[in-house]
Structures are given as structure tokens and as C-alpha cells.
Structure 1
Amino acid sequence: MFRTLRFDAVLIQAVIAGALSFSHLHDLAQAAGQDGWKAWAYPVSVDLLLVAAWRRMRTDGGNHDAWLWFAIALVASLGANVATAGMLDMNNVPPWLRIVVAGWPALAFLGGTLLAHAHTHTPEPAPEHEPVDEPEPELTVERAPEPDPELPSAAPEFEERPPALPEPASPAPTVPVPPALLDHARKIADAHRAQTGAPIDAETLRSRLGVPPALADSIAFQLT
């Protein structure tokens, strides 16, 4: 199957503009005293510098040198187009134009070398976040609320009181004890038994640990 040829208007326009600019640069170089193959080399040098600067601008948009050399090559191309349009006498060009044309090869070589060896800016990787050590939770001992003191009954003096009944055995303390505090108290109790030969009482345990009486009773009960 034959592929349908389709003309691109932009491509055709680029070919026409390139051919005309190439011809104008050749005519200007020839008028400035560069004859033969040297006159044909000037438009090639200008176009190559223009393309090299454009490629560097696309890969590194922040490179100011690439913009500078692109502007220099563009001015050289546009200047040749304007100069050959009747603005200059091509049979008697001014001396400064001969100097510019003669010095262009060295200038183009310098620009091409700087563009070829320009350092491409690469973004630095973001630093990784270092793990933060979380502080260990502090051990807090909650003090149990003390019971309200009982008020004496307002019974009359002449009423006979019933005989006092024997007090029932005190139930086990209900104050919760943290496991870490219980292990520490057990070490203190073992050391006390090893020194005195007797188990530690609640009052001694309270003074050693510095805890409330209710919590000391609960610890002493669990150590028995």
C-alpha cells in the first residue's frame, strides 16, 4: 500500500527560510572578501551555532550562556538578511563588516565549545528524614482518694448501745499496682528479708518507696 504524502506547511516554511538565510550569509561573506568554499562555510557555521544554542536551551532553560549565543547567531543571520536587501553596497562593504566576517569563525568556535562543555544543572535529592526516638512514657502513681471521716452519731446519751461485734477481716486492697512498681517493691522486700530475716511490713515499704499508705498496703498484700 502506498502511503499518502502530506505536506507540512511549517516544514516547508522552515526549508524556505533556511535556504534564503543560507544564501544571504553566503553572499555577505563573499562580499566581505571570503571567496570559494570559505563563503559557503559561513552560513553552515551560523546555523550550527544556532542549533547548538537551541538544544542547550531546551535541556537547560536556566543556562544564560545558551540564550546569549542563540541571540548572537540570530543577529548574525538576521543581519545578513537585512544587509543583502539593499541596505549595504555589496561591491564596497565597510571595513568593520570585513572585520566581523573575518573574526566570526573564532567567535563561533568559542561559542560551540562553551555550549558543548556547559555543566547541566541537576536538582539535588531531598534529604531523608531521620527517625526520631520517641521518649519512653513516665511511670505515674495515682493516689487513691482517702475516705471521708465518719461523723459520730447524734444518739442521745441515755440510749444504750449494743455490744460491739468483732471486726471482720479487712478485704484485700483494691488499689491497682503497676507491674514495674511491684517488681521494684519485691526486690526491696527480698533485700529486707535477707538483712533482717523477717518480712517487710507496710510502713517500712511505704517509707522505702515513698508511696501513699493505701498503695503501700496493696503492695504489701500482693507480696505476702
Structure 2
Amino acid sequence: MGRAIALELARRGMDLAIHYNSSEGAADEVVEQARQLGVRAAKYRAELTDEHAVNAMFDAVTTNFPELAVLVNSAAVFFPTPLDKLDGATWDSVLDVNLKAYWLCARRAAQHMRALGRGKIVNIGCVSSKRPWAGYLAYSVSKAGVMMLTECLALELAPAIQVNCVAPGTVVFAEQASEARKTQIRAQIPAGREGDPQDIADAVAFFVTGPDYVTGQFLAADGGRGLK
């Protein structure tokens, strides 16, 4: 999903600072593909749950890209966390990546954007922030936090910076999902299919390039599944 978002923004003429943690090869590929689209691109490694690492990353990014005016928070972990098997360490790890990292990056990016006098922040949430999923306790709570983080930041950073949330529905099935379960889920989606990363990239691009009067909003890109 992150690759699709990055390349869609590159196609729209935006320079890219690509974050990665362990997937350096994938980051290299995105950087090269972005450059082929005619924009500047560079990769930056950081552990996003570490405040000092995030600050160091943004120092490097803003040195190379002083006009940084867009942040897309898309890092996430996704796996089942049923209550009877959820321990404190797992809870912390999910909330750290899915929520704390978004806050750390948004806070640091906002400092730079305020100095510029403009900016757009888009957080990747999930429809589970409004419709909890059984067996995904920590994940659902983390994404509900992303929705509230979005709204709070939109208030605090107005009027110069707009903050919005794109909430994907089913884009990637859980590894343990059977074909029967996949068929069942598809039948619940009015669009008749699961989402594609490009669907999410297009939604992000709407917020990034769209009207400044739109802020604090939650856009469910779920093929209409939330209507049922």
C-alpha cells in the first residue's frame, strides 16, 4: 500500500522522502521508480517508535527537502490479537507502531509545516476504528486512536495545516483466511471485490491535492462494505 501511495504522489509531480525500517530493497525500488517519473526521491531508515530516531530522520529529510509539506503516515502491523492471547508486550508493540509512530511523525512534521505556513497530513486508519473486529482487539483500538489523533491534530494545526484520515476496508486478506472466508467477505462488499492498493493511493491523493477547506475527515475506502 505504501508503494502505491508513494508512486501515485510521484506521478502527480511530488518529490518523495521514503521511510523504511527493514525493507531496504523495496525502498530502493520505489526510489528508482519515482525517479523514472521525473521527481526527486530518497530513502531514510528509522525506527518510528523511537522519538530520537524520528527526530533524526526528519532532520535529514528537511535538510534535503526543505519544502516538505506533505506527510503520509502508513506504517502498521496487522495480526490477530484475541483477548485471551494478548499480552502486554504485544499490546505495546501494536500501539507503538500503529499509533505512537503516527503521533511522533505528525508532531515533527508539523513543526516544519508551521514554519512553511502550509501542510497536509494524511493518516492511514482502518474501518475497524468504527466497526470493531472480533479477535483484533489491539489493532482495532490502535486504529480508533488514529481516527481521534486525526481529529485532534486537525483542530490544533488549523488553519494552515490540514489533517485527514483514509480508512481502507479489505485490501489484503489475513494470511490465515481461507478461500471460503475470502468469498464470504467479497459478498459483503457492494463493489463486489476487495480493494486494491491503488484505490487507497487515489484516496490519499484526494486529500493531498484537494481543497484546503477539508480537514479532520475520515474517508472509508471500503467499496461500500460499511453500509451493510
Greater share of helix: 1
Could you state the TM-score of these two structures normalised by the residue count of structure 1?
0.21
More RCO (CA 8 Å, sep 6+): 2
Could you state the TM-score of these two structures normalised by the residue count of structure 2?
0.20
Greater share of strand: 2
Structure number with larger C-alpha Rg: 1
